[in-house]
């Protein structure tokens, strides 16, 4: 039993943190219909900035905030490349992802791994330091869950504001946004800022959990985040009371669980990325099946 | 156009002046559509435009809305040259209802959210709550005008409405805020005959009630004759028939069909 609990804890520890990234990618991929590859670069960006700041003695919560803002700035660049310079969505993401590699190296001063052991992180200082006894070993899960839920609630609230409604409209029907006298391109940039901000925040929190930043930690993040969003939203589509943001988080946890189970069953670590790609493929294919069924039910009456 | 041209800065002036427009310039498909084209619309006038395919009807609308640029010439709305404004900037005073019912509303948002967005047109879209609860009663009374029972389905996603319902909603949404010019781009063409009638009656009601300057492009000659104060027939980028209020009242569908066939034969259709 202890092994099972240990595994569940392991899944949740990372699941909630990746959930924050999944919420961000939900905004870009599902709401805006923008497959944003810059996520691969902004995730380690958040980690590297956090490592640098915490090593310099900055408050870990402040480091989270700064990581969010820097991720947002990177997302803004993706948006500007796409909207103002009319580069396709995929290429804009690739460009920023590639550029981020160098930016991250500059931040870490050229080293691929930047450890910051025995410094204050959100898991060891502040409210987390008050946890004692048994609760202490669950502090990573608890804090991860709290951060994830806070981000989810803020994003849910934002999506109900005027700006949030406009954001949803610009992914859904840009022409409608134009008829409201607004530029859908601007809203696309706003969405990318939020999406990449959340991703960098996830990178920041994961770095604090492992007390080190790895410049290569971004590889495969796009695949992981997209798979989480697609798994979550297509599995839970029928459940009306679960919001899409929660579905994205649940998707991230399920995805992480699949990986952990595979590892436990003896899959060699070398095959991890292959497994991630396979899981993503399965998610995409099953999503197409779901979508196909849904489309048939909901045909535009003018096209029958 | 025999009438005296109005001063361009007259604040009642809505129209196009000395427009030149060529498509696919320099290719084998080059089409010279407009050469020194002029169109003037009276304030609060409801104008119907008919014409064969490729006659330039939709191009007039696109030029007014800024979806496509003019080669040269000026576009005026209420005496203001708007040639330099982008499409979304023009939308602040020009409303447009499209042929495709899905273009005028947001399918993934609810009826309530769609109306709340439209209600906010012209103000800033900040971090205030999107749906103002105090306005819901107003939205209900507006929806009651449609007589489609939508006032009881505020939380329904627009994607589950029929084409006719969506188009009626799009029309309502489009005219919620004050407009200088309403553009109807074959807005009944994708609907079944009954829905088209309903939407057309609603159009008439809204245009008269709000005294909107309206330009309606239609393929339905009956609508063109029955509705509106003025009828324009286009052919190859020229106005071949321009019937003002008096002339139009004596105009029969038969006359129009004859005229229409005449120009179509020229085109070999």
A219-236 pLDDT, tens digit each: 989 999 999 999 999 888
Residue A130 included in any domain? yes
pLDDT at res. B260: 78
Burial class (CB in 10 A: 0-12, 13-18, 19+), A248: buried
- What is residue A48's predicted lDDT score, i.e. its pLDDT? 96
The per-residue pLDDT for A124 is: 87
Query: In this model, does residue B151 exceed pLDDT 80?
Result: yes
Smallest Cβ–Cβ distance between A160 and the set B103, B106, B129 belongs to: B129
- A301 lies in a domain? no
**Mean of all residue pLDDT scores within chain A:** 90
Task: Point out the residue among B88, B117, B159 whose CB comes nearest to the CB of A169.
Answer: B117
A70/B contact by beta carbon, under 8 A? no
What pLDDT score does A291 carry? 64
Check pLDDT > 90 for residue A37. yes
Q: Give the residue, B24 or A43, on which the prediction is more confident.
A: A43
Q: Taking residues B153-171, what's their average pLDDT? A: 91
Least confident stretch, A210-214, B19-23, B104-108, B237-241: B237-241
Contact B90, B41 (CB under 8 A): no
Taking contacts as CB-CB distances below 8 angstroms, the residues of chain B near A164 are: 130
A297 touches chain B (CB under 8 A): no
Report how many Cβ contacts below 8 Å link chain A to chain B.
94
Q: Is B209 exposed, middle or buried (0-12, 13-18, 19+ CB in 10 A)?
A: exposed
Say what the pLDDT of residue B235 is: 87
**Chain B, nearest residue to A162 by Cα:** B130
Domain assignment of residue A285, yes or no: yes
Inside any domain, residue A111: yes
Q: Taking residues A81-93, what's their average pLDDT?
A: 95
Q: Tell me what pLDDT residue B102 has.
A: 87
Residue A47 forms part of a structural domain: yes
| A300 located within any domain | no
Interface contact A180-B104, CB threshold 8 A: no
Structure confidence by residue, pLDDT tens digits, B179-188: 999 999 999 9
Percent of chain B with pLDDT over 90: 29
CA–CA distance, B12 with A290 (Å, rounded to integer): 54
pLDDT of residue A71: 97
pLDDT in tens, A257-281: 999 999 889 889 889 889 888 988 9
- Contact list, B87 vs chain A (CB under 8 Å): 178
Nearest to A162 among B100, B128, B174 (CB): B128
At B1 the pLDDT is 41
pLDDT, residue B8, reads 61
Strands B230-235 and B46-51 turn out to be parallel
The phi, psi pair for B190, rounded to 5°, reads: -95, 5
The DSSP 8-state label assigned to residue B129 in this structure reads: B
Q: What is the pLDDT of residues B227-251, one digit of tens each?
A: 888 999 888 888 888 888 778 777 7
Q: Quick count: other Cβ atoms within 10 Å of Cβ A121?
A: 24
Cβ neighbourhood burial of B157 (10 Å; 0-12, 13-18, 19+): middle
Domain residues for the domain of A41 are 2-295
Report the CATH number at residue A43: 1.10.3470
In a domain, A304, yes or no: no
Total tally of structural domains belonging to chain A: 1
Model confidence band, residue B268 (pLDDT cutoffs 50, 70, 90): low
pLDDT(B105) > 80? yes
The DSSP bridge partners found for residue B51 are B234
Residue-level pLDDT at A299: 47
Residue A172 resides in a domain: yes
Q: What per-residue confidence (pLDDT) applies to A49? A: 96
pLDDT at B2 over 50: no
- The residue with greater pLDDT, A254 or B221, is A254
Chain A hits for B179, CB-CB cut-off 8 Å, are none
Q: What is the pLDDT of residues B52-92, one digit of tens each?
A: 888 888 899 999 999 889 899 889 888 888 888 998 999 98
What is the C-alpha separation between A267 and B63, in angstroms, rounded?
62
pLDDT at A296: 46
Min Cα separation B125/chain A (Å): 5
Checking if the pLDDT of A43 tops 90, the result is: yes
């Amino acid at each position: 039993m202890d092994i099972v609990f240990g595994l569940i804890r392991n899944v949740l520890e990372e699941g909630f943190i990746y959930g924050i990234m999944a919420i961000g990618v939900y905004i870009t991929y599902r709401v805006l219909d923008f497959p944003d590859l810059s996520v691969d670069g902004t995730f380690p960006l958040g980690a590297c900035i956090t490592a640098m700041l915490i090593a310099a003695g900055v408050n870990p919560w402040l480091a989270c905030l700064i990581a969010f803002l820097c991720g947002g700035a990177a997302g803004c660049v993706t948006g500007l490349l796409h909207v103002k310079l009319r580069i396709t969505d995929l290429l804009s993401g690739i460009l920023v992802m590639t550029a981020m590699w160098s930016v991250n190296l500059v931040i870490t001063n050229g080293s691929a791994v930047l450890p910051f052991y025995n410094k204050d992180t959100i898991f060891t200082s502040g409210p987390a330091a008050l946890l004692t006894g048994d609760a202490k070993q669950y502090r990573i899960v608890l804090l991860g869950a709290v951060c994830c839920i806070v981000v989810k609630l803020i994003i849910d609230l934002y999506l109900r504001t005027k700006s949030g409604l406009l954001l949803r409209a610009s992914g859904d029907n840009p022409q409608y946004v134009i008829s409201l006298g607004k530029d859908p391109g601007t809203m696309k940039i706003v969405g990318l800022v939020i999406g990449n901000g959340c991703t960098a925040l996830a990178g920041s929190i994961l770095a604090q959990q492992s007390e080190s930043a790895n410049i290569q930690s971004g590889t495969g993040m796009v695949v992981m985040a997209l798979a989480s969003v697609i798994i979550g939203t297509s599995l839970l589509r029928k459940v009306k009371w679960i919001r899409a943001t929660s579905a994205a988080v649940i998707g991230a946890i399920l995805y992480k669980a699949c990986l952990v189970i595979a590892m436990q069953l003896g899959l060699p670590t070398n095959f991890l990325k292959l497994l991630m790609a396979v899981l993503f493929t399965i998610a995409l294919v099953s999503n197409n099946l779901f979508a196909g069924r849904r489309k048939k039910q909901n045909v535009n009456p003018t096209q029958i | 156009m025999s009438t005296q041209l109005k001063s361009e800065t007259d604040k009642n002036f809505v129209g196009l002046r000395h427009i030149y427009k060529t498509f696919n310039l320099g290719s084998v498909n080059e089409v010279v559509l407009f050469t020194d084209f002029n169109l003037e619309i009276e304030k609060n006038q409801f104008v119907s435009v008919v014409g064969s395919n490729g006659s330039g009807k939709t191009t007039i609308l696109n030029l007014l809305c800024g979806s496509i640029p003019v080669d040269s010439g000026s576009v005026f709305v209420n005496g203001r040259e708007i040639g330099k404004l982008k499409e979304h900037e023009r939308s602040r005073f020009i409303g447009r209802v499209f042929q495709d019912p899905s273009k005028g509303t947001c399918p993934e948002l609810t009826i309530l959210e769609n109306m709340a967005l439209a209600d906010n047109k012209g103000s800033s879209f900040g971090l205030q709550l999107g749906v103002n609860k105090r306005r819901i009663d107003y939205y209900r009374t507006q929806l009651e005008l449609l007589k489609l029972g939508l006032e009881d389905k505020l939380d329904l996603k627009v994607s589950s409405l029929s084409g006719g319902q969506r188009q009626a909603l799009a029309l309502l949404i489009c005219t919620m805020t004050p407009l200088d010019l309403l553009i109807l781009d074959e807005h009944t063409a994708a609907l079944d005959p009954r829905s088209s009638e309903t939407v057309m009656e609603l159009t008439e009601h809204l245009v008269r009630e709000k005294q909107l300057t309206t330009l309606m492009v239609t393929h339905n000659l009956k609508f063109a004759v029955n509705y509106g104060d003025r009828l324009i027939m286009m052919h190859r980028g020229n106005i071949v028939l321009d019937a003002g209020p008096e002339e139009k009242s004596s105009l029969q569908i038969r006359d129009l069909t004859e005229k229409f066939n005449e120009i179509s034969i020229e085109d070999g259709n």
